[in-house]
Amino acid sequence: MQIRRMLVLAGLVTTVVLGSGRIASAQGVRLPAAERRLKALPFPKDLKWLNTDKKLDLAGNLKGHVVILDFWTYCCINCIHILPDLHYIEKKYAGKPVVVIGVHAAKFKTEDDPKNISQAIQRYRIEHPVLHDKGGLYWRSWAVQRGLQQAWPSFAFIDSAGRFVGYATSEGQRGLMDAVVKQLLEEGKKEGTLAKKAITLKPTLLKSRKGQLAFPGKIASDAKTKRLFIADSNNDRILVTDTKGKVLHVIGSGKAGFKDGDFKTAEFLSPQGMVIDGDVIYLADTDNHALRKIDLKAGKVTTLAGTGKRAYDRIGGEEIGMKQGLASPWALEKKGDLIYIANAGTHQLWVHDLKTGKSKRFTGSGREHITDGGPSFSALAQPSGLVILDGQLYFADSEGSAIRRAALKDGRVETLVGAEGERGALFDFGYRDGKFEESKFQHALGVAVLDGNIVVADTYNNRIRLMDLKAKTTSTLYGNKGELDEPAGLTVLDGIIYIADTNNHRIMKFDPKTKKGEEFKVLLPKPTPKDEEKDKPKGK
């Protein structure tokens, strides 16, 4: 969440990265002398451990281990971005006394529920143990007693003698983490404090859902052909069905990766938003940081933009096609030859020109906030849903729990619901219907058009809401009886709302006229023996 990233060791900034936000060099990191290090704060005994077969204790079964504490919250795009880096550290030092531990300190109310954290661990395919820091008290203790800066994500480094070495904040820290871990291992071996045998930990929450939907993220539709398009996100594939649930196309091998090709060999990584143009699907391949094109007639998948790695560029327009990087594209819309992209990772809306092959900023300064204005002044907060209506690009700005719109003619941003301009805008959330100025959402991820109004997937409130644009009021359509669990996407086809009921691994459909909801059963093909293989964890 910060442009300037640093490693702080005993209160001293010893390594600073370039203004681009990427690590310039991890060389020259000097660890503070042992006598200057304070004891690491022990894990509170009353907190719940997730994704591990044993409770952990710094002075007990972790004695002699180098430990990285990752303070995170599962809504945060920056926290998602560092997972491949943590996975890299875990794999590089596998078999050595190095342990990564996630300390989940929630931002949103719904994120403080261990059931929801467990779902997020599965969705992000996290392999390391996670401590549920209920209420964030342990995190605050680190801030008060050890000076840890509170930002998502933050990392505390603990040496093999159980002492706090220093901390880092924000993403882009792979090289720095690697350098610190390497030095701590060498130091521990020299001082004789390093454990001779690494602790064995087994993740308990990773489960394969081959042959079933797995955390479907987004859903799209085509009114002309009456087809539905489902981003079966954790199966890393796209499904095309008719309105009876018959699967017409399975796009992608189901293996997590980044590969163009035919439908059986192409690979995606946690794909999300789609926009349909006849027999062409444009896809936000989120964790590949790429814009993909799926040609249903040719049976081919190609990449239009994105390098496969998270980009820090906030302007764009200089490179063509795959040379131009993106950052966690989450949703798409199309107008003529322009594809609009919710570039969640840089807190902006981008646009890709199909004629020129160039992608660039459409609006948003890149600063994470809820601020209205023109393209270079406005501030967005993790935009995650898009829809076009009457010359306006409506979007769900999830980290600000806001629903906003940008004029297609000039990119000027206006907030309809949300605490625009307020200092605490990113923490203004809740559940309230009524006038726009009184309404509240909680980390909404999806928007669609219903009868000239905006329907919203109010994700963390587990509800589908309606925004009446003329009356300027919000109301709840569906979800009051607990039918949904973090719905992330929705589409409207022939007056019926189809919903990606993400944590329930299913698609629901709701009729606004009869006010009845039911499961839309997708008639999935039977898995082959190869499909039964365990899902690959994220990481590159």
Give me the tens of pLDDT residue by residue for the chain, a chain 540 residues long.
433 334 444 333 333 222 222 223 345 678 888 889 999 999 999 999 999 999 999 999 999 999 999 999 999 999 999 999 999 999 999 999 999 999 999 999 999 999 999 999 999 999 999 999 999 999 999 999 999 988 999 999 999 999 999 999 989 889 999 999 999 999 999 999 999 999 999 999 998 898 899 999 999 999 999 999 999 999 999 999 999 999 999 999 999 999 999 999 999 999 999 999 999 999 999 999 999 999 999 999 999 999 999 999 999 999 999 999 999 999 999 999 999 999 999 999 999 999 999 999 999 999 999 999 999 999 999 999 999 999 999 999 999 999 999 999 999 999 999 999 999 999 999 999 999 999 999 999 999 999 999 999 999 999 999 999 999 999 999 999 999 999 999 999 999 999 999 999 999 999 999 999 999 999 998 776 565 554 444 444
Record the pTM: 0.93
Closest Cα to residue 51, out of 214, 207, 208, 202? 202
Give the separation between CA 26 and CA 236, rounded to whole angstroms: 33
Cα–Cα distance list, 465 to 62, 450, 479 (Å): 47, 11, 9
Distance, C-alpha 27 to centroid of its chain? 30
Cα–Cα distance list, 152 to 61, 125, 155, 303 (Å): 27, 19, 9, 31
**Residue pair 359/317 in contact by the 8 Å Cβ criterion:** yes
Q: Position 211: which residue type?
A: G
DSSP, collapsed to helix, strand or coil, labels residue 530 as helix
DSSP, collapsed to helix, strand or coil, labels residue 172 as coil
Query: What does the pLDDT read at residue 29?
Result: 76
Give the separation between CA 18 and CA 175, rounded to whole angstroms: 13
The alpha-helical segments, DSSP class H, found in 400-507 are none
**Beta carbons within 8 Å of 298's beta carbon, 6+ residues apart:** none
**Residue pair 253/265 in contact by the 8 Å Cβ criterion:** yes
Give the separation between CA 405 and CA 466, rounded to whole angstroms: 15
Query: What does the pLDDT read at residue 234?
Result: 97
Query: What does the pLDDT read at residue 28?
Result: 60
Q: Position 279: which residue type?
A: D
Q: How many residues does the chain have?
A: 540
Closest Cα to residue 489, out of 513, 519, 469, 464? 464
User: Given CA atoms 80, 406, 110, 489 in this order, what sign does their dihedral have?
Assistant: negative
Query: What does the pLDDT read at residue 78?
Result: 96
Query: What does the pLDDT read at residue 380?
Result: 98
β-sheet bridge partners, residue 66: 98
Cα–Cα distance list, 96 to 55, 178, 196, 497 (Å): 19, 13, 9, 51
Give the separation between CA 364 and CA 389, rounded to whole angstroms: 20
Q: What is the DSSP letter of 174?
A: H
Instruction: For the chain, state the CA radius of gyration.
Output: 23
Paired sense of beta strands 38-39 and 12-16, if any: unpaired
**Residue pair 155/173 in contact by the 8 Å Cβ criterion:** yes
Distance, C-alpha 145 to centroid of its chain? 31
Q: Position 362: which residue type?
A: F
Residue 476 phi/psi, 5-degree rounding, is -100, 130
Cα–Cα distance list, 316 to 311, 320, 358, 442 (Å): 10, 10, 8, 31
Give the separation between CA 444 and CA 417, rounded to whole angstroms: 11
**Residue pair 312/296 in contact by the 8 Å Cβ criterion:** no
Paired sense of beta strands 130-132 and 48-50, if any: antiparallel
**Beta carbons within 8 Å of 384's beta carbon, 6+ residues apart:** 330, 331, 342, 344, 395, 396, 397, 398, 444, 445, 446, 488
Quote the tokens at residue 150.
Answer: 């509170």
* Residue owning tokens 């009353």: 46
Give the separation between CA 314 and CA 3, rounded to whole angstroms: 12
Give the separation between CA 362 and CA 89, rounded to whole angstroms: 36
Torsion of CA 23, 24, 26, 28, to 10 degrees: -150
